[in-house]
C-alpha cells in the first residue's frame, strides 16, 4: 500500500468486529514498532500486549468503557520506561554485542549518562513518554499497512492500568493502541487548512 493511502485511510476505529489478527501479522507489526526512532536510541518504552478477554473486561471500566478495548483483537499498552539508566546499560551491552569496542563508545555512553543524571524524575517520565509516542505512530500506520485497523487512545486511567496489569513502578502506561478489524466506517477526515499548520519564514 502506498504510504499516502495508509495515512489517508488510517482512522481512529471506534469498534472492532472481534476477529483475531493472525499472530504472524501481529509479529510483523511488533517489528515495525520495535524499529521506531528514539533520542540517543535509548528506546525508553515497553509495550504490554493484552489478548485475554477477561483482562480486557477488567480494563474496560478504566478506559471509560470505550468499546475498542473489549472488541479489539490485541490491546497494545504503550508504557514509557522511566528507568532510563537501565536502558542506557542495556544499550551499551547491545552495542558491544553488535561489535562496538567498549573504548570507542565510552564517551558516547558517558554523554547519555550525564544527560540522564541532569533530568528530574518528572523530566525523565516526560522525555520517555515523548519517545513512546513515536513508537505509537509506527503502530498506527503499520497496522493499516498490514491490513488491519487501530485507534490511538489516551482515554484511560494509567494508575488503574498499572494495578490491573501489575506493572513495575518504572513503567507508566501512556497510550493505548487496540488493533483489530474495524466494524465501523471511516468518517470524512477533518484537518486544519495548510495555512493554519505551516509557516514559511
Ligand X SMILES: Cc1cc2nc3c(=O)[nH]c(=O)nc-3n(C[C@H](O)[C@H](O)[C@H](O)COP(=O)(O)O)c2cc1C
Please report, as ranges, the residues that interact with ligand X according to CB under 6 A: 11-12, 14, 66, 151-155, 175, 189
Give least dist CB 42 to ligand X, A: 21
Which residue lies nearer to ligand X by CB, 11 or 45?
A: 11
Which residue lies nearer to ligand X by CB, 67 or 113?
A: 67
Cβ contact 43:132 at 8 Å? no
Position with the least CB separation from ligand X: 155
The phi and psi torsions of 130 (rounded to 5 degrees) equal: -60, -40
- Residue 76 corresponds to which cell in the numbers above? 497494545
Give least dist CB 154 to ligand X, A: 4
Burial 98-115 (b: 16+ CB within 10 A, else e): eeeeeeeeeeebeebeee
Distance, C-alpha 8 to centroid of its chain: 20
Which residue lies nearer to ligand X by CB, 56 or 91?
A: 56
Give least dist CB 15 to ligand X, A: 10
Give least dist CB 92 to ligand X, A: 32
Which residue lies nearer to ligand X by CB, 12 or 119?
A: 12
Which residue lies nearer to ligand X by CB, 18 or 102?
A: 18
DSSP 128-167: HHHHHHHHHHHHHHHHHHHT-EE--B--S-HHHHHHHTT-
CA distance linking residue 165 with residue 186, whole number of Å? 31
Nearest to 87 by CA among 41, 139, 136: 41
Give least dist CB 11 to ligand X, A: 3
Amino acid at each position: 500500500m502506498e504510504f499516502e493511502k495508509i495515512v489517508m485511510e488510517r482512522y481512529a476505529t471506534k469498534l472492532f468486529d472481534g476477529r483475531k489478527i493472525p499472530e504472524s501479522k501481529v509479529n510483523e507489526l511488533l517489528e515495525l514498532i520495535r524499529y521506531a526512532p528514539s533520542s540517543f536510541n535509548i528506546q525508553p518504552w515497553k509495550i504490554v500486549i493484552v489478548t485475554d478477554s477477561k483482562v480486557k473486561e477488567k480494563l474496560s471500566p478504566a478506559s471509560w468503557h470505550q468499546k475498542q478495548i473489549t472488541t479489539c483483537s490485541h490491546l497494545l499498552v504503550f508504557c514509557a520506561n522511566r528507568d532510563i539508566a537501565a536502558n542506557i546499560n542495556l544499550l551499551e551491552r547491545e552495542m558491544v554485542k553488535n561489535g562496538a569496542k567498549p573504548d570507542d563508545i565510552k564517551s558516547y555512553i558517558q554523554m547519555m549518562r550525564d544527560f540522564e543524571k541532569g533530568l528530574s524524575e518528572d523530566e525523565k517520565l516526560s522525555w520517555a513518554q515523548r519517545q513512546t509516542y513515536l513508537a505509537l505512530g509506527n503502530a498506527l500506520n503499520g497496522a493499516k499497512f498490514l491490513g488491519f485497523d487501530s485507534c490511538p487512545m489516551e482515554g484511560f486511567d494509567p494508575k488503574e492500568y498499572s494495578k490491573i496489569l501489575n506493572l513495575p513502578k518504572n513503567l507508566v502506561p501512556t497510550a493505548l493502541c487496540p488493533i483489530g478489524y474495524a466494524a465501523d466506517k471511516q468518517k470524512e477526515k477533518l484537518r486544519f487548512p495548510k495555512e493554519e499548520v505551516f509557516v514559511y519564514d
